[in-house]
Amino acid sequence: MNRIHVLSILLWVGSCGAINSASTGTIVFENDMAGISCYRIPSVVKTERGTLIAFAEARHGSCGDGEVHELAFRRSFDDGASWSNVSFAVGNASYMVGNPSAVATKTGKIVVVFVKHAPGCVGDCGTGNAVIVSSDEGATWSPPRDISEMLGPASGSMPGPGTALQSDSGRILIISHHGAYAEDFVSFSDDDGETWETSNVSLPHMDEAQLTQLSNGSVLANMRHASASKLGRAVAISNDDGLSFSPIEYDAALISPICQASIVTFNGCTYFSNPASTKGRNHITIRRSTDNTATWHKSTFLVEPGSSFGYSCLVRGALSSDETKGGILYEAPGSTIRFEKFPLNF
């Protein structure tokens, strides 16, 4: 715990046991980098070889939702200490894409599912979905392949954003919202992203969401909704690899504004990150559970106390050079996207 800021701890949480890092991470994306006006919506994966690949929407002219054209990415071969130059995996002014939902598969591929937008799109107005794949640690990417028809009722929905999930069976699962606070769908692929189906389940009145497979094998959906500041995050459980889900419940321990969040499980622990506030997008915090999210540890890790857009994405797995550390890619103040390491046993 060599970066504890005692004063920040006392000012923010008193005796709540938070470790505070206060934006000491590495900047991965910032305004005007590589000629892009604004970067938003972080996603990060760790490959089987340990490479970190960070994605973000590249927005032109402003940070507005309707300004996204491409999916940008950078790679790190030293657990986030340094990053490659900004490159673009997919998208342009006539093929506008957003909402990266990425996964590094057990076979060594990186699969990214995303939404397609029509020019002038503002908000939740997807026109279809597509997928790109890399088989060389993100050095090169396949041409986009349209999967809209295969997704059926989920076609044009907004994946994630954040990461997709590969479950123990090898199935890749994505959760996406169809319309603002209308419904969430779960889609899946059993052949490394080649073909897709959508489960016969709808999670009503939900929005941006993430999936994780808990240590007991269940798949948990953790979802944004319009009453998050009053009820906490929405959750639902699947015990059949994403084919069906339990009725929606609310986890009051996961306090939240109306915002995206991230959740991952590995090494017997589940980690959750979001702005831990009911009043605004501030205090991005990581929480930890060792009992399949039945309870959350009192101690937390404060990533960023200040206000920002508030989105984050946790790395699924410990960092290669130090198995006691995890990683998070998050939207920091000043319209920057940073990568931060954190102790797994805070």
CATH architecture of 6-343: 6 Propeller (2.120)
CB-CB contact of 330 with 88 (8 Å): no
Residue type at position 104: A
- Reading the block at residue 98, the tokens are 């957003």
pLDDT at position 65, please? Answer: 87
pLDDT, tens digit, 9 for 90 and up, residues 175-228: 999 989 999 999 999 999 999 999 999 999 999 999 999 999 999 999 999 999
State the Cα–Cα distance between residues 79 and 322, nearest whole angstrom. Answer: 9
Identify the pLDDT of residue 328.
Answer: 98
Parts of the chain with a pLDDT under 50: 1-16, 21
Residue type, 100: P
Where are the domains positioned within the chain?
A: 6-343
Q: How far is CA 238 from the centre of its chain?
A: 20
Six-digit token string for 43: 């996603």
pLDDT at residue 25 in the model? 86
**In the prediction, which pLDDT does 19 show?**
58
